[in-house]
Structures are given as C-alpha cells and as structure tokens.
Chains A and B, each alone.
Chain A
Amino acid sequence: MSRPVQARRLEGIDKNIWVEFVKLAATYSKVNLGQGFPDFPPPDFLTEAFTRALGGQNHMLHQYTRAFGHPPLVTVLAQFFKKLLGRDLDPMTNVMVTVGAYQALFCCFQALVDEGDEVIIIEPFFDCYEPMVRMAGGTPVFVPLRPNPPKDGKLMSSADWQLDPAELASKFSERTKAIVLNSPNNPLGKVFSRGELGLIAELCVKHDVLCISDEVYEWLVYDGKQHIRIASLQGMWDRTVTVGSAGKTFSVTGWKVGWVVGPDRLLQHLRTVHQNSVYHCATIAQEAVAQGFQRELRLYGKPESYFVQLPKELQQKRDWLVQSLDGVGMKPIIPEGTYFLVADISQFKSDVPDVPNSDEPYDYRFAKWMIKSKGLAAIPLSAFYSEAHKNNYTNFIRFCFAKEEATLKAANEILQKWKQEKTSS
C-alpha cells in the first residue's frame, strides 16, 4: 500500500513485553516463573461445573447469552459484591461481564478517556494501562511508589514502597480524568492500606476524578492483611469502576471471564463500548464461573472456601520462594498480596556481560541472559515502568510463585547451583 496502512492510534504500542518474554520462555526456560499464571490445576468444583454445563440437557449454553453478562453470573456477582461493598447492587446495571479483566480495562478507557484527558498511573504498573490510555487518546501521568527500606536491615516488604502524598497531589490537574489503582499491586504485591486509599480518595473527590480500580488479586492477600475496596470509601462509589477476574479468582486464566462493578451512570458507557466491540462473552465459561461463585457464597469465610484455601497455599509458596532467593543472595521484597514477588539482583551484576551503549535497561538484559543460560524465566521490573522512568529501577526482576511444588523446587535447584558456581569462582 502506498499510504500508511495502520491507524495512528497504534503508534508506539506495538511492542509488548509478554510477546517477547513468552517466546523466550517457551524456547529456553526449564522453569518458568515469568508470566503470571498458575501451573497448578484449577479447583475441581469449577472444572466439574464446566463439564456439567457441557454434558447437560441445555444445549443453548452453546449459544449467545445476555450481552452484558450471563444472568446467573451477574446475579451471583451482585450478591457477592453487595456483601463486600455494603451496598445494594442491581445485577443488570451495576455489573457487566467482560472477556477477562483485560477487556474490562479496555472498556473503561474507551468509555471514559477522551483525547486530551490525563490519567494518573502509579508505577510500577501492569503494563497494559499505558497503551490502553494512549489508544484512547489520553495522556498518562506517572507517579512512582518509592522504596523506604527498613532501618533494621531486614528484608523489605511491599508495604515499604509508598506514594509521596505531596508528589501524588501535584499530579492532579484540571485535565485529570481518572487515576488507575491496582491493589493488590502487580508487580510489587503491595496491598494499599486504608490510609493510603483514603489519600487517593480525597484527591479524587477534590478534583472530581474517576477511579479505575483493578482488583483482580483481591483474594490473594497474606499475613492476615485485609483487602480494602476503594469503592467502599466515602465519596467513591459514584466515581469508581472496580475490575475483577475469574482467571485470578479461580486459577483459570484461560477462561477469560472478567467483570466490572460500579454505578450505572458509569457502567452505561462501558456497555456502549462493549456492545460495539465484543458484544457477548462465551456462555459456558460464564455458567461455570457462576456456579463457582455460588459455592463460594455458601462457604464464605469457612475454611473450605477456595478464597480461604488459595491464599493460605500461596502464602506458603511465597515464603518458600523468599527463602530460596534470600539464600542465594537475591534480595526479595516480601509481597503482602498477589502471586508475584520482586527481587533485587544488584549482587548478580558481575554475572551478566556488560553491553556498552545498549539502550536496553540492565534488568532486561539480565532476565534474558538468565532465561537463556540458566533456564529460569522471570520478568524485568523496568517493563512495568514508563519509558521516562525505566532506568530508575533496573536492578529488580519479578517472579511468579503460583506454581506447583515441583516447579518451585526446580527453581530452587537452579538458584542453589548458581550460588555454588558464584562462591567457587
């Protein structure tokens, strides 16, 4: 073609860390702690619900369901979130189902961000926020979480990474349309405290700004901490869209079922985007997820609840990986939530050959080298930073510990061997 075939809205958003690293991991890695998905099976009760739906009499489950969400699913989500938010929810207007939380985010940005709007993004951030804001014609404005290491020399916790209140306030302007909050936070694992959320809420209310709250890891919270939903804070319900994910909730990332919960006056615009893009989501997966939620509603707070068992299991895995990494001299930052942890690799600088004049940040080079030469896959932390700030945090890599014992053991073996090589050399 003689003229540029692609639309300008794609400028700068063609690169994607996952495409690159998923390929590398597939080619070289023996142990993949990179991309965030569980390698353990989903809970039986969920896959059984799927199989039951398939084999059942109702073959209409293979056809289109309600565009904005399969009725049994939106109904149980409304019931569940009514409990969690302390507010009556209408399943038809306060809940919408999407193809994964990813598409929920897409609908948020397309519906609410116009050309020239500013959107505040807290760094480090799940990488899709930036390209989605840009694709909507918006301008991302970044504000970092800053590490405040404990004075006693103990390992850092994700709680030690904090926003500077004055710095955050300075990012709000007349053009600010929304702020994206992700708690528990990917990649750090930070669980924002009530005080921290209160600070953000205050600014949102003061500047009449929307909040897009990505809470996909809402159930993965450790050490008795509590996940607080910003939509439940004063003045926030009317201006918040809360995003959730069956993939993360039930360990079925491949089912691609997500949702948004919020006031009708915001969700009506997300519905417009949805009906003009994807329109419906796969029926059978929604049916099975609805049954999963019905079970969890019955067992809410009880020891057999998956939402109680899963974080318990993952906490053990977290502790195991922390020990493993600490043992070899990588400094893990203990996450309060999610199934990710970030480790400081400064001590390993000497291992990775220096590439003069490379425009790739150190952690990218390190991670790629580690995959190829050690067969262990992780993701460089600077992937979760804006272009302008990538070079500020190049000594960290992110591991995913939602993995079977065998996988974590194998990772430990690689790390131990590596440590031995270093001490003997």
Chain B
Amino acid sequence: MFLASRNFCCHGIRTCQLRTDLLSRSIKHSTSATMPFRHKNTRRIEGLDSNVWVEFTKVAADPSIVNLGQGLPDISPPSYVKEELAKVAAVDRLNQYTRGFGHPSLVKEGDEVIIIEPFYDCYEPMVKMAGAKPVFIPLRCKNDGNSASSADWVLDPAELANKFNSKTKAIILNTPHNPIGKVFTREELQVIADLCIKHDTLCISDEVYEWLVYKGKKHIKIATLPGMWERTVTIGSAGKTYSVTGWKLGWSIGPEYLIKHLQVVHQNTLYTCPTPLQEALAQAFWIDYKRMDDPDCYFHSLSRELESKRDRMAQLLKEAGLKPVVPDGGYFMIVDVSMLNVDLSDVDEKQPYDYKFVKWMIASKKLSAIPLSAFCGPETKKQFEKYIRFCFIKKDSTLDAAEVILKNWNKQTG
C-alpha cells in the first residue's frame, strides 16, 4: 500500500519562480520508484484485492491439468445460438449503441445484508463496496455431517430469524445454489419470505442456474410468493442459460420502482451492453420460448445432459473413496475430502485445509477444483474446510480424463 503524502510539493507556493524550482525537483522524484505517493486505493476497495478466481485460475492454467475448478462449460453452446450471433454480426446497425438499459443501488452505508453461507464469493465484496455490513448465516447439514444430497443442507429457521433486525436492508438468496447445488423448496422459501415481509426487507434473488434443475425437483421463484414481487430483484444469466459465459449478458427482473434505481446505477457505470450479443440472445430466447413444452427445448435438454454428467461424476468420486454431496441443481458438486486423510500439516502456508488440499491435488494429481472456504465468511471457514467444489459441465473427454485420475488415485494412496 502506498504512503499517504498529501503534502508533497504543496507549500502554498503560487509564484512562477518557485513553481519552476519545485517542478524540476518533482520531475526527478517522479521518475524514482521510491517517490512518496499519496495515491493509495480508495477506502471502498480496502481489502478487496485478493480473489479466489485470480489465485486458482493462475494455478490451474497449466493445460496438462484437468480443470474442474472454475465454473465454465467446455462444451459447445447450442449451434443456433452461435448462428444467431453470426446473423446479427452482419447487420451493421446492430454494431452500434442500443437502448441504454438492460447491482444493488439499493444498499448503502450502515445497512446490513444477510448472506447465506456458503455463498458465491462476489456477494461479500460487493456488499462491502456498497458500504454495508454482511451478516452471515450458514446452511447446516441435517444428518450430523452425513450428507448424500444437497437437500440435506438447510437453514435453521430460528437462527435465520435472529439475523434480521431494523438495519437489515436485504437478504441475498441463490437458488439453485452455488456451490452446494441446493434447490430451495417452497417451504424454505416461505420461511425467508415471511421474514422479509415482517422486517420490510428486500430480496436479491440470484437465479442464474434456474434451468439446471434435476429430476424430481422444481425451481421456484421467490418473487412469485405472496408479498414478494414488490420487494424482490431476480437475477438471470445468458452465460448459464445458454452455456455462453463469455457473452457476459445478464438481466434483472423486478418491480419498476426497484429496477429504476438499478437503471440509474447502470446508466452511470456501463450505460449499455453489447448490442449484437443482446440481439442474438433475444433470437435464441424466441426459439426456445416457442418450444418450452418440447423436450428439445435447450432449457430441458441441457439439464438432462447435465444430470447424466452429475451422476457419472458422483459415481467416480464415490469409487475413489470420496463423499460427494449430490446436487439437486446447478453444475457444481461439493465433496468431503477429509476421509482421505491427506496430511498437509507440513505445508507452511496459513491457509485453510481445503486451499492447501486443492493446491496439492493440482500439483500431484493434475486435477483441479475450488476450495469451499472461498465461499464462506470468516466464522464458518472451519466448518467448510473439508470440502472442495467440482464443476461438471464438461465434455465427455474431460470427464474421461478425470475418471482416469480418480481411478488411479485409490491405487496410489492405497
């Protein structure tokens, strides 16, 4: 961090002569690396510089590593989605600005925001950047730590109720949940809704994995519960819906009086999103909207495809002696690695066990994943440090490669 040095060169000197002297002195100083420099970061980004993705993407970048870490598909997006973009790219006017609109501007200094742990890591820094205080509540495993399914992880209603107070501005809900893959049931959503209504709290509902829900489960939008539409902003993603994370298109849906504040933030930050990509996405949505009841609809076909990958992944992990938590939704699976008893006490770094485990696994097994404590607040890291997260939206050859590693794992560790 830089030294604050606001008085450098500033002695209230305004005459030309002295100004020139100062100038020549300051030029010499400015080219030296040790110049006292008051330009440190703003307070709002204090402590937000480290990031699990930056850390692990670098480590897993080696092409010989089977990357089941960062959540991005290595399968191809549906061809009609790519074709729509190709069609659109040929239309000149679609290469220029479009209508301006397409973050919580609703949260300010002194507010509290409830975050359910484990959580998609960006929620915490974003809440802090808005000047608010994150209040954490963990999902807890029902069966004494013996979890076979994401449905085993639940909120304690009394504990949740205790987290709400007069300062609570919003709660962030993520369903289907990253990283556990939990799909909140209607009853669970009702508990949250009741508290939101009672305490006049907003709900920011991150539903990017809404189409990735497996057999027997149903995705329910909390905004559809009574009393919730007027206090909920629902977030969606083209990247997750259509396997095009690199298009970076998402959306917010909600009542006008909330969305208009998001629009103000949007017009003062990005202003517009890329036109050709929005156009192509719109076309793709029309195609699938028209065939929503058809099994070929991408929203259904993708989740079918992923379900078999999920089952395959779970099987492989069990055979390797690991305990996967089979997700009801999403494309991530968390795994308890503690029974492997990999001794990493000699690793000197002051990092949670799962961070050390993943680094060890990348180096010695050439398989990457993401440590679960990256998704936790400071109090719960201990609870979750025996878990790592795998992403299974990968093509067959990637899963084949993972299979080889997992099958051989048993042999080596004996």
Any chain B CB within 8 A of the CB of A160? no
Any chain B CB within 8 A of the CB of A393? no
Q: Which of B176-229 contact A (CB under 8 A)?
A: 200, 202
- Asked whether, in the complex, the Cβ of B27 is within 8 Å of the Cβ of A135, the reply is no
Q: Which of A198-253 contact B (CB under 8 A)?
A: 202, 205-208, 210, 234-235, 238-239, 247, 251-253
Q: Which of B44-72 contact A (CB under 8 A)?
A: 44-45, 48-49, 51, 53-54, 57, 70, 72
- Asked whether, in the complex, the Cβ of A265 is within 8 Å of the Cβ of B37, the reply is yes
Any chain B CB within 8 A of the CB of A340? no
- Of the candidates A206, A207, A254, which one forms a contact with B98 in the assembled complex, judged by CB atoms under 8 Å apart? A254
For A277, the chain B residues whose CB sits under 8 A away are 103, 126, 129, 269
Q: Which of B88-130 contact A (CB under 8 A)?
A: 89-90, 92-100, 103-109, 122, 125-126, 129-130
Q: How many residues of B contact A (CB 8 A)?
A: 90
- Asked whether, in the complex, the Cβ of B268 is within 8 Å of the Cβ of A128, the reply is yes
Considering only CB atoms, which chain A residue lies closest to B94 in the complex? A254
Any chain A CB within 8 A of the CB of B154? no
CA of A205 to CA of B9, assembled, Å: 8
Contact with B along A246-266 (1 / 0, CB 8 A): 010001111110000000011
- Asked whether, in the complex, the Cβ of A205 is within 8 Å of the Cβ of B27, the reply is yes
- Of the candidates B19, B82, B103, B245, which one forms a contact with A202 in the assembled complex, judged by CB atoms under 8 Å apart? B19
- Of the candidates A39, A136, A238, A252, which one forms a contact with B42 in the assembled complex, judged by CB atoms under 8 Å apart? A136
- Asked whether, in the complex, the Cβ of A16 is within 8 Å of the Cβ of B8, the reply is no
**B254 to A: closest C-beta gap in Å:** 11
- Of the candidates A14, A114, A234, which one forms a contact with B43 in the assembled complex, judged by CB atoms under 8 Å apart? A114
For A253, the chain B residues whose CB sits under 8 A away are 95-97
- Asked whether, in the complex, the Cβ of B49 is within 8 Å of the Cβ of A272, the reply is yes
- Asked whether, in the complex, the Cβ of B106 is within 8 Å of the Cβ of A254, the reply is no
Considering only CB atoms, which chain A residue lies closest to B19 in the complex? A206
- Asked whether, in the complex, the Cβ of A63 is within 8 Å of the Cβ of B72, the reply is yes
Q: Which of B138-189 contact A (CB under 8 A)?
A: none
Of the stretches B256-264, B298-306, B332-340, B374-382, the one at the interface is B256-264
CA of A412 to CA of B108, assembled, Å: 50
**B121 to A: closest C-beta gap in Å:** 10
Contact with B along A52-66 (1 / 0, CB 8 A): 001100011111111
- Asked whether, in the complex, the Cβ of A268 is within 8 Å of the Cβ of B42, the reply is no
Contact with B along A303-332 (1 / 0, CB 8 A): 000000000000000000000000000000
CA of A54 to CA of B38, assembled, Å: 46
In the complex where A106-B270, A239-B39 touch, is A60 in contact with B200 (Cβ < 8 A)?
Answer: no
- Asked whether, in the complex, the Cβ of A38 is within 8 Å of the Cβ of B96, the reply is yes
Any chain A CB within 8 A of the CB of B282? no
In the complex where A5-B202, A265-B2 touch, is A254 in contact with B43 (Cβ < 8 A)?
Answer: no
- Asked whether, in the complex, the Cβ of B42 is within 8 Å of the Cβ of A114, the reply is yes
For B106, the chain A residues whose CB sits under 8 A away are 5-7
For A285, the chain B residues whose CB sits under 8 A away are 274, 277
Contact with A along B3-39 (1 / 0, CB 8 A): 0011111100010000100110011001100010111
CA of A238 to CA of B249, assembled, Å: 35
For B268, the chain A residues whose CB sits under 8 A away are 13, 16, 106, 128, 131-132, 135
CA of A266 to CA of B264, assembled, Å: 27
- Asked whether, in the complex, the Cβ of B9 is within 8 Å of the Cβ of A235, the reply is no
For A22, the chain B residues whose CB sits under 8 A away are 99-100
Contact with B along A1-33 (1 / 0, CB 8 A): 111011111100110101100100000000000
For A65, the chain B residues whose CB sits under 8 A away are 246
- Asked whether, in the complex, the Cβ of B86 is within 8 Å of the Cβ of A55, the reply is yes
Any chain A CB within 8 A of the CB of B74? yes
Any chain A CB within 8 A of the CB of B265? yes
**A133 to B: closest C-beta gap in Å:** 10
- Asked whether, in the complex, the Cβ of B96 is within 8 Å of the Cβ of A54, the reply is no
- Asked whether, in the complex, the Cβ of A5 is within 8 Å of the Cβ of B257, the reply is yes
Considering only CB atoms, which chain B residue lies closest to A23 in the complex? B99
CA of A218 to CA of B76, assembled, Å: 38
Considering only CB atoms, which chain B residue lies closest to A117 in the complex? B42
Any chain B CB within 8 A of the CB of A147? no
Any chain A CB within 8 A of the CB of B73? yes
**A37 to B: closest C-beta gap in Å:** 5
With contacts defined as CB atoms under 8 Å apart, how many contacts are there between chain A and chain B in the complex?
A: 245
Considering only CB atoms, which chain A residue lies closest to B61 in the complex? A66
- Asked whether, in the complex, the Cβ of B246 is within 8 Å of the Cβ of A265, the reply is no
- Of the candidates B19, B30, B274, B276, which one forms a contact with A235 in the assembled complex, judged by CB atoms under 8 Å apart? B30
CA of A22 to CA of B108, assembled, Å: 31
- Asked whether, in the complex, the Cβ of A50 is within 8 Å of the Cβ of B248, the reply is no
CA of A9 to CA of B261, assembled, Å: 11
- Asked whether, in the complex, the Cβ of B42 is within 8 Å of the Cβ of A63, the reply is no
In the complex where A64-B246, A205-B23 touch, is A256 in contact with B43 (Cβ < 8 A)?
Answer: no
In the complex where A110-B42, A110-B44 touch, is A276 in contact with B126 (Cβ < 8 A)?
Answer: yes
Of the stretches A75-83, A96-104, A381-389, the one at the interface is A96-104
Considering only CB atoms, which chain A residue lies closest to B41 in the complex? A269
- Asked whether, in the complex, the Cβ of A51 is within 8 Å of the Cβ of B257, the reply is no
- Asked whether, in the complex, the Cβ of A272 is within 8 Å of the Cβ of B45, the reply is yes
Considering only CB atoms, which chain B residue lies closest to A6 in the complex? B261
**A388 to B: closest C-beta gap in Å:** 20
For A100, the chain B residues whose CB sits under 8 A away are 270-272
**B232 to A: closest C-beta gap in Å:** 12
Considering only CB atoms, which chain B residue lies closest to A203 in the complex? B19
For A9, the chain B residues whose CB sits under 8 A away are 105, 108
Any chain A CB within 8 A of the CB of B247? yes
CA of A3 to CA of B99, assembled, Å: 31
Any chain B CB within 8 A of the CB of A351? no
CA of A136 to CA of B129, assembled, Å: 11
In the complex where A114-B42, A131-B268, A275-B54 touch, is A60 in contact with B243 (Cβ < 8 A)?
Answer: no
- Asked whether, in the complex, the Cβ of B86 is within 8 Å of the Cβ of A54, the reply is yes
In the complex where A14-B264, A207-B10, A284-B247 touch, is A276 in contact with B269 (Cβ < 8 A)?
Answer: no
- Asked whether, in the complex, the Cβ of A276 is within 8 Å of the Cβ of B122, the reply is yes
Considering only CB atoms, which chain A residue lies closest to B125 in the complex? A276
CA of A5 to CA of B257, assembled, Å: 9
In the complex where A174-B6, A254-B276 touch, is A62 in contact with B97 (Cβ < 8 A)?
Answer: no
A-B contact pairs, 24 of them (CB 8 A): A7-B105, A8-B108, A10-B264, A13-B264, A19-B100, A41-B95, A62-B244, A63-B74, A64-B72, A103-B269, A106-B270, A110-B45, A112-B42, A235-B30, A253-B96, A254-B94, A254-B96, A254-B272, A254-B275, A256-B274, A269-B41, A276-B48, A276-B51, A279-B122
Among all A-B residue pairs, the 9 with the closest Cβ atoms: A254-B275, A283-B246, A7-B108, A41-B92, A59-B76, A6-B261, A269-B41, A235-B30, A114-B42
Known: A47-B95, A103-B270, A111-B42; 10 extra A-B contacts, CB below 8 A, are: A6-B105, A6-B261, A60-B74, A128-B268, A205-B26, A208-B5, A210-B39, A253-B96, A280-B246, A280-B248
Could you tell me which B residues sit within 8 Å of A by CB distance? 2, 5-10, 14, 19, 22-23, 26-27, 30-31, 35, 37-39, 41-45, 48-49, 51, 53-54, 57, 70, 72-74, 76-77, 82, 85-86, 89-90, 92-100, 103-109, 122, 125-126, 129-130, 200, 202, 231, 239, 243-249, 257-258, 260-261, 264-265, 267-277
Could you tell me which A residues sit within 8 Å of B by CB distance? 1-3, 5-10, 13-14, 16, 18-19, 22, 35, 37-42, 47, 50-51, 54-55, 59-67, 99-100, 102-103, 106, 110-115, 128, 131-132, 135-136, 169, 174, 202, 205-208, 210, 234-235, 238-239, 247, 251-256, 265-266, 268-269, 271-273, 275-285
